[in-house]
A and B are shown apart, each in its own frame.
Chain A
């Protein structure tokens, strides 16, 4: 599931993707504008930097910016970095697999279905770029129906 960490990270990245080229975003501004606890955001930005998704500059005039154009960054990449392998429930992951105490993993139908669900999640998130997510304007209609 998308945790608060994943959600806050995505919001911060949308924020950065709206900056003018060459401009840096301050952590305090991003925290205030998106209702994110500042300490938590600092930790999130640190992880995004380690993963090569954002770049930072320290000191006066410092801040954060995207390491690559928003058109090249897939939402799936961000979520995997912040929340680990995409998985709707803990047992539906091969790499960060956590077995349930109360069921047999080989025969559990719920797990099998959730493995399909995770693939569907991955497909959507890997198809969507940060730029596309930024440009979703909160309209209730899905994108493909809006032009009609």
Chain B
């Protein structure tokens, strides 16, 4: 008797849905997919739950299809609903994308191969015969393999629970004229600032980050063509940066700019990262990443303009420096900051501190119980840089012993130690497609032993 391959996906946000979609897309595949999500909606997750209209995608709509091989899939979906016109350089609301992801799955879920479970996962335990996934209710679900698709950390990792995430339950209404502080100056900061603007917040906003750099703006520029044969993989960091600068200078002469080069490199970023030595990676994270991020993760032009205006009027004040400490003082919060290049510290008295800091959190400090448990029992470990979970290039979770799991995989931002460029849809969909293919190919092996 042939057995059906059973795959459990932990997390029903963008990565989980994309993987389910790639698994179920071929209706001839005999398998069972169980998608476990604690939220009531499948698809949006943390990334695409934004309820505000001007929380838009930071990638132009035509690049956001669920399927790399069908690049207009999302564009058609938008068109059918009258959400876009003819202009393809458009940044649609993120909540539309969450709905789209839900629809992608609905379209594939009518043949009984998909089971959606709304629950919080407490424990994942891979064994020799299969994987046991234990829910909060105590119920166990058994599968041949399990895939962790838990996305970004949801709790701020620093600031002793005093700083809050925007839009979380701790983010209660505040006086509209009160000063606030935002930690971090990247795209999450922009989201927070937009939320404040939407609530007609008038008080000053102090933004503190290590370098005080704001994201650059998107702009339509001449496309730069790069192929693998052009890209110097596996060199030292300095050499690579020099090469990058040369290419930018050349491209500027041809009607493009650094945006064209950053975008042209996109398909190779994972390979560039993987070809670097450990030392080169450390050095990149330390010295280059802040600058890279503001060029790579850009803002739609109109948002960028609004932000620039707020900075020039002084409503937003940017501080390059280190956030040192935070304490409560009555109804207020006092934050201690040391500006870059200055010895003494400064105290800021604000109504609230929002944490929009780096999303790469050491998994050993994870607030997600599943990740915490897997790391604690040695089934998984932090990658060498402590920016995610250690996985092979085939997405197999690596145990503390160094051996890759046969039945436990991870996808999405959690795998950034191995892939680095793995936080946005265009990369995650490719990762999902490849993992789906490998799971099919290895189906015989994991099916050999019967589920208990």
Contacts and interface: CB of A to CB of B under 8 A. Distances in A.
A51 B277 contact: no
Nearest to B278: A68
Interface string A70-86: 00111011001100011
Interface in B215-258: 224-239, 247, 250
A73 B236 CA distance: 12
Interface in A55-73: 67-68, 72-73
Given A67-B277, A68-B277, A95-B250, A122 B239 contact: no
A76 to B, nearest CB: 7
A119 B225 CA distance: 14
A81 B226 contact: no
Interface bin, chain B: 20 to 34
A115 B228 CA distance: 11
Interface bin, chain A: 20 to 34
A51 B232 contact: yes
B229 A86 contact: yes
Contacts of A87: 229
A94 B230 contact: yes
Contacts of B235: 51-53, 77, 81
Interface string A118-141: 110111001000000000000000
A52 B278 CA distance: 13
B226 A126 contact: no
Contacts of B247: 95
A80 B275 CA distance: 14
Contact of A118 (B226, B227, B238): B227
A94 B225 contact: yes
B280 interface: yes
Contacts of A118: 227, 229
A52 B236 contact: yes
A110 B275 CA distance: 32
Contacts of A76: 233-234
Contacts of B236: 50-53, 67
Contacts of B233: 74, 76-77, 80, 126
Q: Give the residue among B234, B235, B239 with the most A Cβ atoms within 10 A.
A: B234
Contact of A74 (B224, B234, B280): B234
B275 A122 contact: no
A94 B234 contact: no
A81 B275 CA distance: 14
Given A72-B277, A95-B247, A51 B230 contact: no
A85 B277 contact: no
B229 A85 contact: yes
Contacts of B228: 119, 122-123, 126
A52 B238 contact: yes
B232 A81 contact: yes
B312 to A, nearest CB: 38
Given A50-B239, A95-B250, A126-B233, A74 B275 contact: yes
27 contacts: A50-B238, A50-B239, A51-B232, A51-B239, A52-B237, A52-B239, A52-B280, A67-B277, A68-B277, A72-B234, A74-B234, A80-B231, A80-B233, A81-B232, A85-B229, A86-B230, A93-B230, A94-B226, A118-B227, A118-B229, A119-B228, A119-B229, A121-B229, A122-B227, A122-B228, A122-B229, A126-B228
Interface of B: 224-239, 247, 250, 275, 277, 280
